[in-house]
Chain A
């Protein structure tokens, strides 16, 4: 077979481990990245003839170290050097190299790499851009396109982020168990943020931004393979897979968002949903519910319903109650109210959201949901006021036009009534 795409796949799959290990070795992100590039070039030269090495990551780390050391020597920064002969004798060294770098090293290296991308001094968009550039290896033009900014602007954003991270200093000690848990949580949040960057797009942007979802899912798998017993990571990947499975049904011909209730469920990708369901079931065995698992469980309830009317809203209400306990937030209560309205009625739901009017004053969905509930109860005058409020808080034209349809319907209803 003449197709060399397997090399590309192997290189990008090994990238997080290799750059992570090289960064620990050189203690410098730029040197690590350059060394990785050099190792990739040598792989492209070597692998087509010899086939892939037994452990591509170990091969790349070894060759990358050589290249980096070489480079540093050329720049005259370092005198002490390992013997060139032993370094280049790859056939002997590769197996021992692979043995020395056990899973625990890999894990810490990759997690450290991801974690520095999520440095708290960096704004969310810079965190995501760093992760895409450094961990996923996307090119700057690719990232710029996904974020709908110019290449120069993205280049500058990443350079600035790298400088900030370098100035902050990177912790190279083996993280303690507590540190590790914190790092996993930070990184998990960044991965989901990245997914949402891609997922929330509509109109002409949707197609351009979908690769962000693919990348987020890839990073999710990476974390899950490193920590196979973490139920929240299973939940994160399941949640992303459920949402990703609905992509073909999410937008109409004009590129506008189609609400879950109105989606053509035959377009949902069943194989992704089946895998997500398997993950959720696996996670549930741990009896350690978390926010990603619960959100995935809600997505699973929607996936199980053949049609919108078959949805088990009572179960969804319960999951939202558990979410409220774990992570109290008015937005979660608002979502719960929608589930309550479907199984207990609009009166109960309205009662639930009235106390939120202060905290969600400027929130589009609050006024939209409230308007729909009032409308259902026949309180048209109040419903109209809520919808008008919603339009004034709308973030996109699609949101505004969705509400305007309700208003038009109200208008028609009013015209039909005797004066």
Chain B
């Protein structure tokens, strides 16, 4: 079975970390990853940029693009796609294709700040 492990935390607190504290947090994460890889295979691992860098494409025939706030608290994360685009405009265009397919919710376009492909998992 494939599982997605999704990381949740208070963004305001994490964004406020100094460089040293952020590095300390990431090295704890890497240590935890070492334990996982002893037993399981890794798919891609990635870190997202904060929501302040994201855009939201609302579901509908003519999708509305907004800067935030994003999904309603009553909506849950159902899935995600990773796309490689030359510009934000292209990524939003991709998001619109998906948003037109549904009536509710929407698609958040969030840049990825760090990406480790499966092949590099140790």
- Which A residues contact B (CB, under 8 angstroms)? 5-6, 9-10, 12-14, 56, 103, 211, 214, 218, 221-222, 224-225, 228-229, 234, 237, 271, 274-275, 278-279, 281-282, 285
Contact = CB atoms under 8 A, between A and B. Distances in A.
B122 interface: no
B44 interface: no
B2 to A, nearest CB: 28
Given A229-B67, A279-B53, A274 B111 contact: yes
7 contacts: A10-B10, A12-B16, A218-B16, A225-B68, A229-B67, A274-B113, A278-B49
A221 B12 contact: yes
A218 B50 CA distance: 12
B77 to A, nearest CB: 18
Contact of B53 (A6, A211, A222, A278): A278
Given A229-B67, A282-B67, A9 B52 contact: no
The majority secondary structure among interface residues of chain B is: mixed
B73 to A, nearest CB: 11
B114 interface: yes
B88 A282 contact: yes
Contacts of A56: 10
Interface residues of B, number: 28
A228 B69 contact: yes
Contacts of B14: 9
B88 A281 contact: yes
A6 to B, nearest CB: 8
Contacts of A237: 52
Nearest to A271: B113
B40 interface: no
A228 B10 contact: no
B55 A282 contact: yes
Nearest to A279: B53
A58 to B, nearest CB: 13
B13 A13 contact: yes
B36 interface: no
A285 B88 CA distance: 9
B13 A9 contact: yes
A13 B16 contact: yes
A225 B67 contact: no
Given A221-B12, A275-B49, A9 B17 contact: yes
Contacts of A285: 55, 65, 88-89
Given A228-B67, A229-B66, A275 B12 contact: no
A35 B52 CA distance: 30
B53 A275 contact: yes
Interface in B46-72: 49-53, 55, 65-69
A229 B15 CA distance: 19
A271 B53 contact: no
Interface in B75-91: 87-89
A281 B18 CA distance: 25
B111 A275 contact: yes
B40 to A, nearest CB: 22
- Tell which of B53, B65, B68 has the most Cβ of chain A within 10 Å: B53
A237 B49 CA distance: 13
Contacts of B21: 5
A285 B109 CA distance: 14
A9 B24 CA distance: 14
A222 B15 CA distance: 10
Nearest to A221: B15
A35 B68 CA distance: 32
A224 B52 contact: yes
Interface in B1-31: 10-19, 21
Contacts of B19: 214
A14 B12 CA distance: 8
A248 B25 CA distance: 20
B52 A228 contact: yes
A96 to B, nearest CB: 15
B28 to A, nearest CB: 9
Contacts of B53: 275, 278-279, 282
A86 to B, nearest CB: 26
B29 to A, nearest CB: 13
Contacts of B16: 9, 12-13, 218, 221
The 8 closest A-B pairs by CB, nearest first: A228-B68, A9-B13, A13-B12, A13-B13, A229-B67, A278-B53, A281-B88, A278-B111
